[in-house]
Amino acid sequence: MSFVFTTHACKRAKQRSISFSLIDLAVSYGSIYFVGDGCVAYLIDKSSIKIAEHECICMEKLLGVAVIVSGKNIVTVQHTRKIPNHWKRWR
């Protein structure tokens, strides 16, 4: 699925040194969380790192990278150490 970057997402990615290729990995392998207002977060956590390792992709340095998506738009990217309480994991 292809996404469109908002200007805010581009600005935040540059500020936080998160490249577009890392964002693509997060969307491909990240765990999915519902974050409210119809948005979804793709988060690189330990479980998503294990899945990527089965395909010989090393993502340990990406631990905590989250990509927030609304529809087909990437709204923002961020680093997070702790999952916010209002994020609900998709099962």
SS (H, E, C) 43-76: ECCHHHHHHHHCCCCCCHHHCCEEEEEECCEEEE
38, two tokens: 């119809």
pLDDT at 91: 66
Q: Please indicate whether residue 89 or residue 73 has the higher confidence score (pLDDT).
A: 73
Mean pLDDT of 71-77: 96
Q: At 86, is the pLDDT very low, low, confident or very high (cuts 50, 70, 90)?
A: confident
Say which amino acid occupies 49: I
pLDDT of residue 66: 96
**Secondary structure (3-state) at 25:** helix
Is the pLDDT reported for residue 1 higher than 80? Answer: no
Q: Give the pLDDT band of residue 45 (cuts 50, 70, 90).
A: very high
Question: Where exactly are the structural domains of the chain?
Answer: 4-81
Which whole number is the average pLDDT over 58-76?
Answer: 92
Cα 13 to the center of its chain, rounded Å: 11
Residue-level pLDDT at 29: 92
pLDDT of residue 27: 94
